[in-house]
């Protein structure tokens, strides 16, 4: 009896000891799981943080981008530098890849070419995108990867637009594609090439020569601005050829060296020249439609006031008339420029008002303010008579007349009005030629 009690106590103690050991083992295993999970979470957070705070740069082909964006080619696990390197950038020996921490993005060259007006309106993350695009351009990369944990496609789009307006090296119509894949959002610039950068570097050297030769006698910003404006407009040809693509062509270099370019080349060249001369200047634009092409021009702060400057429009007229007396868009106010133009929605609320009208229609000989058609025609003929052209045509055989009512008119109605005016004018004078040069102003060439 006593033995059975002892045995029972031993069994109870043994059972109790086993339970304690099992519990200790379970606690130990749980602790290991917690520690392991914590380590995994720690490294995942660290990895995500590193990815969020790093930007990937590469040079890739259009074929690769087409491949990635094809849904049938489901490339997964593009999450870290090893996968990006292995999966994407082994197309050829020429392809390059680099990953840089945001805080370590180096400054760019030629900061004096830009006022960075729009950059100041960006958030910190958007400024990072802005700086990354410049770094890519400077170092020959055309493909930029950002972590989608920190950056969005909207940020990329906004920063790109603002950089295009700020920096003359980046064309307003530079072709780009935004891709979102896995944990990254990418920017691809197919025409951001080493050749384009080389041409822009040459353009910068030419611009230095121009700005270094600004006459010392020019004392005001207005005088300097006029000198640079005329040197550009009078020596560079404007083209509306749709085949001329400034996203591909070295349009800035063409503008600075007196070749042929489009509005992108003109506005970028003027912006660069002004900023290098110490005059704040940036580009503005509106996008094209199926009906009409887009257009870019400049806004600059000159002697404390903001003005519009549209060198390509004035260059188109100068090519025909060969006189700076016909410029209509040098230091123009909103009243002149925004009647038939508007800003792209991305910058519309940020551009400062150009309210100073002192230089509006400075070269216009006659201004007809009425909006009544018949009154405008009669007033115009009367004002032409007052010019005394019949008595003295020795120093001027043309004049500029501005009609307020032409602003905002549809092209067909506007042309009908101008033709009616020319018909009445021909009753007294011989009209050799005429042209509508914008902002309500008509050029008239007479023979008496």
Read off the pLDDT of residues 141-159 as tens digits, 9 standing for 90 and up.
888 888 888 888 899 999 9
pLDDT at 291 (0 to 100):
47
Neighbours of 92 (CB within 10 A): 8
pLDDT at residue 97 above 70?
A: no
Which residue stretches of 239-331 are H helix?
A: 251-256, 263-276, 311-321
pLDDT at 42 (0 to 100):
40
For the record, the structure tokens of 291 come out as 């009906």
Which residue stretches of 106-220 are H helix?
A: 124-139, 153-166, 194-212
More confident residue, 31 or 204: 204
List, as one string, the DSSP characters of 17-80: HHHHHHHHHHHHHHHHHHHHHHHHHHHHHHHHHHHHTEEEEE---HHHHHHHT-TTS----TTS
pLDDT at 41 (0 to 100):
41
pLDDT at 436 (0 to 100):
78
10 Å CB burial of residue 404 (0-12, 13-18, 19+) is middle
0.95 surpassed by pTM: no
pLDDT at 24 (0 to 100):
67
DSSP code at position 290: S
Instruction: State residue 246 phi and psi, 5-degree precision.
Output: -70, -10
CB 89 within 8 A of CB 96: yes
pLDDT at 16 (0 to 100):
54
pLDDT at 174 (0 to 100):
75
Candidates 182, 167, 335; CA nearest to 252 is 167
- Tell me the chain's radius of gyration from C-alpha atoms: 33
Instruction: State pLDDT tens for residues 385-438.
Output: 887 665 544 445 677 888 888 877 777 888 888 888 888 888 877 777 777 777
Instruction: State pLDDT tens for residues 184-225.
Output: 888 888 877 778 888 889 999 999 999 999 999 998 999 999
pLDDT at residue 102 above 50?
A: yes
Using CA atoms, how far apart are residues 347 and 344, in angstroms rounded to an integer?
6
Q: Is 203 helix (H, G, I), strand (E, B) or coil?
A: helix
pLDDT band at 85 (very low <50, low <70, confident <90, very high): very low
pLDDT at 431 (0 to 100):
78
């Amino acid at each position: 009896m006593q033995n059975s009690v002892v045995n029972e106590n031993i069994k109870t103690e043994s059972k109790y000891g086993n339970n304690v050991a099992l519990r200790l083992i379970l606690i130990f295993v749980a602790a290991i799981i917690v520690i392991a999970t914590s380590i995994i979470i720690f490294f995942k957070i660290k990895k995500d943080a590193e990815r969020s705070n790093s930007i990937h740069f590469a040079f890739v082909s259009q074929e690769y981008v087409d491949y990635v964006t094809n849904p049938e080619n489901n490339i997964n696990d593009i999450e870290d530098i090893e996968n990006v390197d292995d999966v994407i950038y082994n197309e050829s020996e020429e392809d390059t890849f680099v990953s840089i921490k945001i805080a370590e993005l180096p400054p760019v060259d030629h900061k004096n070419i830009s006022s960075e007006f729009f950059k100041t309106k960006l958030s910190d993350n958007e400024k990072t995108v802005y700086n990354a695009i410049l770094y890519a351009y400077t170092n020959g990369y055309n493909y930029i990867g950002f972590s989608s944990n920190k950056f969005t496609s909207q940020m990329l789009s906004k920063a790109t637009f603002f950089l295009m307006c700020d920096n003359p090296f980046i064309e307003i119509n530079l072709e780009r594609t935004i891709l979102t894949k896995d944990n990254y959002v990418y920017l691809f610039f197919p025409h951001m090439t080493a050749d384009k950068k080389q041409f822009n570097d040459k353009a910068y050297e030419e611009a230095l020569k121009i700005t270094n030769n600004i006459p010392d006698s020019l004392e005001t910003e207005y005088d300097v601005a006029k000198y640079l404006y005329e040197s550009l407009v009078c020596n560079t040809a404007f083209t509306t050829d749709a085949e001329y693509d400034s996203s591909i062509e070295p349009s800035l270099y063409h503008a600075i060296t007196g070749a042929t370019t489009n509005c992108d080349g003109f506005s970028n060249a003027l912006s660069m020249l002004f900023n290098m001369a110490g005059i704040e200047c940036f580009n503005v634009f509106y996008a094209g439609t199926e009906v009409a092409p887009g257009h870019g021009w400049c806004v600059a702060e000159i002697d404390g006031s903001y003005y519009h400057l549209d060198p390509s429009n004035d260059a188109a007229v100068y090519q025909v008339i060969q006189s700076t007396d016909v410029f209509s868009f040098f230091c123009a106010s909103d009243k002149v420029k925004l009647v038939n133009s508007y800003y792209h929605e991305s910058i519309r609320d940020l551009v400062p008002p150009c309210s100073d009208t002192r230089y509006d229609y400075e070269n216009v000989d006659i201004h007809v303010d009425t909006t009544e058609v018949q009154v405008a025609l009669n007033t115009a003929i009367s004002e032409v008579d007052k010019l005394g052209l019949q008595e003295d045509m020795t120093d001027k055989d043309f004049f500029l007349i501005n009609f307020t009512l032409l602003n905002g008119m549809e092209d067909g109605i506007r042309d009908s009005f101008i033709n009616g005016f020319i018909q009445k004018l021909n009753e007294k004078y011989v009209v050799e030629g005429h042209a509508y040069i914008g902002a309500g102003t008509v050029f008239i060439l007479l023979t008496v």
